[in-house]
Amino acid sequence: MNGRILLASGFLALAVIAGVLMLAASPDKPQPASLAEARVAAAKADPATAAPASEAPAAQAATPVAKADEPFVIKRILPIDGPIKYGEWHWDDANVPDGPIVVTVDLDARVLSVFRNGYEIGATAVLLGTEDKPTPLGVFPITQKDKDHVSNIYTGAPMPYMQRLTNDGITLHGSKVELGYASHGCIGMPEPFAAKLFRTTKLGDKVYITRGKQVGMGDSLVGA
């Protein structure tokens, strides 16, 4: 009887050793992503069910990292039919969430657009400079704002709702756009639109001036 017990114990010990060796020799199978994600979700819901510390790196690695929302990606374009005529403007900021303001000016289309948090809230036809005094290309922060500005360069010309872009006199401002005159490099827009833009922007907001840059839904405004 004692001999059969010892023999059985020996077989049992051998089986345990063989099982351990098999587990050590076989590579771990990667967990399906869904299982790893489920474990992470369960751990967040109930910390008592969290995986052991040795498993935590694998579960975290399988969890996709969400990208931060990019505020300069176009999320909406105003539904405007046809080209915008001189003196025409559009503005619709209803239910648009707060967010960074970006202004774009396309010299070829002669259109200024205003985006808030990626949503176009305003668009208008603008007056631009001539070949002799062109509107410059580039990215310009707004450095000064003056609601009742009068030019000290161009014979005291009124420039309502002026927003300065350069130190040599290039600005955004209200103008008699419907007359179709060219500017000395400034960007002129209908005065009611200029007033709305003036109230919307703050110092440091960027104005992207491009030539023929086509943008649409999902496009990035950065580097436009």
Catalytic residue numbers, as ranges: 173, 186
Are the CB atoms for 171 and 159 separated by under 8 Å?
yes
Which amino acid would we find at residue 31?
A: Q
DSSP string, 82-131: SPPPTT-EEE--TTPPP--EEEEEETTTTEEEEEETTEEEEEEE-B-B-S
Question: How many CB atoms neighbour CB 216 within 10 A?
Answer: 7
List the alpha helices (DSSP H) in the chain: 2-25, 33-45, 56-62, 191-200
